[in-house]
Structure 1
Amino acid sequence: MEFTHHTEFPYEMATEWNALLAESATHVPFLRCEYLADWWATRGGGEWPDDSLLAIITAREDGRLIGIAPLFIASHEDKKKLLLLGSIEISDYLDVICRAEEINRFLHGLLRFIREQFVATGQITGLDLYNIIEDSPTLKALEESAKTLDLEMRVRKLQHSPFIPLPGNWETYLERLEKKQRHEIRRKMRRALEGDAQVKLYFTQDEGNLEDDMEDFLELMAQDEAKEDFLSPMMREQMKSVMRCAFAQDCLQLAFLEIGGQKAAAYLSFDFLNRIWVYNSGIDRRYM
Structure 2
Amino acid sequence: MRSTMNTTSLSSATVTIESWDSLFRYWHDKDNQLDWNCIFTLPVWLRTWWDSFGREHEPYICAAWKNQQLAGIAPFLREGNTVRIMGSPDLSDYADFIVVPGQESHFLRILFSHLRHEGIVSVHAGLMRPDSSVLSELKNNAQDMGCKISMELAERTYELLLPRTWEEYLRALSGKERHEIQRKLRRLESAGRITYRVVEEKEDVRSAMDTFISLFRSNATEKAGFMYPVKESFFRALAEALAEARILRLSFLDIDNTPASATLCFDYRSTVNIYNNGYNERYKSLSVGLLSKVFSIRHSIELGRKKYDFLKGDEPYKVRLGGVPVQLYDCRIEFA
TM-score, structure 2 normalization: 0.75
8 Å contact 2:34–2:71 — kept in the other structure? no
By how many angstroms is 1:3 displaced?
0.6
Q: Give the residue type in structure 2 aligned to 1:5.
A: I
Higher RCO (C-alpha under 8 Å, 6+ residues apart): 2
Percent identity between the two aligned chains: 24
> For residues 184-227 of structure 1, what are the alpha-carbon distances to aligned partners after superposition, in whole Å with 9 as ceiling and x for unaligned?
111111122223x2111111144443111111111111122112
Q: 1:227 aligns with which of 202, 205, 223?
A: 223
Distance, in Å, in 1 between the alignment partners of 2:27 and 2:206 is 28
By how many angstroms is 1:129 displaced?
1.1
Task: Look up the match of 1:104.
Answer: 105
Task: Look up the match of 1:215.
Answer: 210
Q: Give the residue type in structure 2 aligned to 1:156.
A: E
Task: Look up the match of 2:158.
Answer: 162
Q: 1:21 to 1:97 in 2, by over 3 A?
A: farther
Task: Look up the match of 2:39.
Answer: 29
Q: 2:49 aligns with which of 34, 39, 51?
A: 39
Task: Look up the match of 1:117.
Answer: 118
Distance, in Å, in 2 between the alignment partners of 1:2 and 1:146 is 21
Secondary structure at 1:247 match in 2: helix
Runs of 5+ consecutive residues of structure 1 not aligned to the other structure: 120-124
Q: 1:139 to 1:12 in 2, by over 3 A?
A: closer
Distance, in Å, in 2 between the alignment partners of 1:27 and 1:16 is 14
Distance, in Å, in 2 between the alignment partners of 1:22 and 1:203 is 33
Q: Give the residue type in structure 1 aligned to 2:26.
A: E
Q: 1:2 aligns with which of 7, 11, 14?
A: 14
8 Å contact 1:82–1:126 — kept in the other structure? yes
More strand by share: 2
Q: 1:174 aligns with which of 167, 170, 173?
A: 170
Q: How does 1:170-209 map to 2 (within 5 A)?
A: 170-195=166-191, 197-209=192-204
8 Å contact 1:26–1:95 — kept in the other structure? no
8 Å contact 1:20–1:97 — kept in the other structure? no
8 Å contact 1:204–1:254 — kept in the other structure? yes
By how many angstroms is 1:17 displaced?
3.1
Task: Look up the match of 1:138.
Answer: 134
Q: Give the residue type in structure 2 aligned to 1:140.
A: S
Task: Look up the match of 1:71.
Answer: 76
Distance, in Å, in 2 between the alignment partners of 1:91 and 1:13 is 19
8 Å contact 2:26–2:32 — kept in the other structure? no
Secondary structure at 1:92 match in 2: coil
Alignment root-mean-square deviation, CA: 2.1
By how many angstroms is 1:24 displaced?
4.3
> For residues 213-254 of structure 1, what are the alpha-carbon distances to aligned partners after superposition, in whole Å with 9 as ceiling and x for unaligned?
111111111122112111111111111111111110112110
Task: Look up the match of 2:59.
Answer: 54
8 Å contact 1:53–1:73 — kept in the other structure? yes
By how many angstroms is 1:25 displaced?
5.1
Q: 2:269 aligns with which of 254, 273, 277?
A: 273
How many correspondences in the alignment? Answer: 271
Runs of 5+ consecutive residues of structure 2 not aligned to the other structure: 1-12, 285-336
Q: Where do 4+ consecutive residues of structure 1 move more than 6 Å? A: none
By how many angstroms is 1:118 displaced?
3.1
Secondary structure at 2:150 match in 1: coil
Task: Look up the match of 2:88.
Answer: 87
Distance, in Å, in 2 between the alignment partners of 1:59 and 1:205 is 35
8 Å contact 1:214–1:240 — kept in the other structure? yes
Task: Look up the match of 1:264.
Answer: 260
By how many angstroms is 1:18 displaced?
4.4
Distance, in Å, in 2 between the alignment partners of 1:183 and 1:14 is 47
Distance, in Å, in 2 between the alignment partners of 1:267 and 1:3 is 40
Q: Give the residue type in structure 2 aligned to 1:15.
A: R
Q: 1:207 to 1:72 in 2, by over 3 A?
A: closer
Distance, in Å, in 2 between the alignment partners of 1:127 and 1:208 is 40
TM-score, structure 1 normalization: 0.86
Secondary structure at 1:277 match in 2: strand
